[in-house]
């Protein structure tokens, strides 16, 4: 629902609704607890747009110890020290977040810059469980992006060998498929808070 009336919503609920709506750029919670979601100067409603409505700018922030990935709605936290894939997953889950998986060029560049700054490969939240060159995101959004520009040289769909299978993905200077035995740093992801 893009316009809530008759439901007393918290500011957090209004912000959450706005994040879920592709047209929403800002939101307002009025004194009655009604959420109004806006696209620029227009109110987003189930029936279209009402011109001339006053707009408020959404200002998101990241939780403590997280950095905002520029031009995205994503906050990232690098956990120093290399670890296994399973340990990286568990570390992010303990923080109430998940292992990051870029789904935009801007997000991918944030991770590439993080790799360049710290020099250790970074676990990405995608797995090729069937070893059929189809990486599925652990974020529940289906297949991981398959942009050939994101993969490192010689890494795109590199199946490894029958002894050392490579079902996981890390960020180096580009994406690389790696085995279970690889060690990399965890980068946890959470959305901006409003």
pLDDT per residue over 36-50, tens digit each?
776 654 444 444 445
Choice between 144 and 157, residue whose per-residue pLDDT is larger: 144
The whole-number pLDDT of residue 45 equals 46
Nearest to 43 by CA among 27, 29, 31: 27
Query: Are residues 43 and 87 located together in one domain of the fold?
Result: no
Give the per-residue pLDDT at 79.
96
- Report the C-alpha gap between 160 and 79 in whole angstroms: 27
Residue pLDDT, tens place only, 101-111: 999 999 999 99
pLDDT value of residue 147: 87
Which range of residues forms the domain containing residue 121? 67-191
Does 55 map to a domain?
Answer: no
Q: What pLDDT sits at residue 166?
A: 86
Residue whose entry in the numeric block shows the structure tokens 């200077």: 173
The average pLDDT across 66-74 equals 90
- As a whole number, the mean pLDDT across the chain is 80
pLDDT tens profile 5-31: 444 667 777 777 777 776 677 777 776
Distance CA 26, CA 36 (A): 9
Q: Report the number of distinct structural domains present in the chain.
A: 2
Q: Domain with 150 in it: what CATH number?
A: 3.10.100.10
In this predicted structure, what is the pLDDT of residue 13? 77
**Structural domain includes residue 83:** yes
> Helix %, strand %, coil % for the chain, to 5?
20, 30, 50
């Amino acid at each position: 629902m893009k316009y809530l009336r008759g439901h007393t919503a918290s500011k957090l609920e209004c912000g959450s609704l706005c994040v879920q709506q592709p047209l929403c750029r800002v939101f307002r919670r009025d004194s009655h607890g009604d959420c109004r979601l806006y696209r620029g100067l227009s109110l987003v409603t189930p029936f279209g747009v009402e011109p001339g409505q006053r707009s408020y700018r959404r200002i998101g922030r990241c939780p403590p110890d997280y950095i905002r990935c520029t031009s995205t709605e994503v906050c990232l936290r690098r956990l120093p020290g290399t670890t296994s894939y399973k340990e990286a997953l568990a570390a992010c889950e303990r923080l109430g977040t998940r292992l990051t998986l870029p789904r935009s060029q801007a997000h991918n560049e944030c991770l590439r810059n993080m790799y360049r700054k710290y020099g250790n490969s970074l676990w990405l939240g995608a797995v090729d469980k069937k070893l059929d060159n189809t990486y599925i995101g652990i974020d529940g959004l289906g297949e991981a992006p398959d942009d050939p520009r994101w993969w490192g040289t010689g890494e795109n769909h590199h199946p490894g060998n029958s002894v050392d299978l490579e079902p996981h993905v890390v960020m180096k200077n580009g994406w690389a498929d790696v085995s279970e035995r690889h060690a990399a740093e965890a980068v946890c992801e959470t959305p901006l808070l409003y």
